[in-house]
Amino acid sequence: MTESSGGVCISAPGKIILFGEHAVVYGRTAVAGSIDLRSYVNAFTSADGRIYLFLPDLGVEKTWLLKDLLKAVDKVSGKNLKYRHMSVV
């Protein structure tokens, strides 16, 4: 792996819904709470123009070229979007 920049680590608590999971669709009340389990994701860009994504709890590691992701976004959106604000240092 190469030197990274622009990294981010995100963590979210697990949740449990005691009842009402589907009732909220109809504006009803649900009872939910967080549990002492967390999910983590780490992502960063590298000097070689790649984006790395790690989900350590699931054993998932993915790598993409930034230029390929930007092309895919253009294709899916059907627009010629500009990405001047995005750069890999």
Q: Give 79 or 9, the one with higher predicted confidence.
A: 9
Fold observed for domain 4-77? Ribosomal Protein S5; domain 2 (3.30.230)
Partnered with residue 31 across adjacent β-strands are 19
Closest CA relative to residue 2, chosen from 71, 85, 57, 65: 65
pLDDT of residue 85: 56
pLDDT of residue 82: 60
Residue 25 tokens read as 């669709």
Q: Give this prediction's pTM.
A: 0.57
Which residues fall within 8 angstroms of residue 68, CB to CB, at 6 or more apart?
none
Distance, CA of 51 to CA of 30 (rounded, Å): 38
pLDDT of residue 55: 94
- Per-domain boundaries in the chain: 4-77
- The backbone torsions φ and ψ at residue 46, rounded to the nearest 5 degrees and listed phi first, read -130, 165
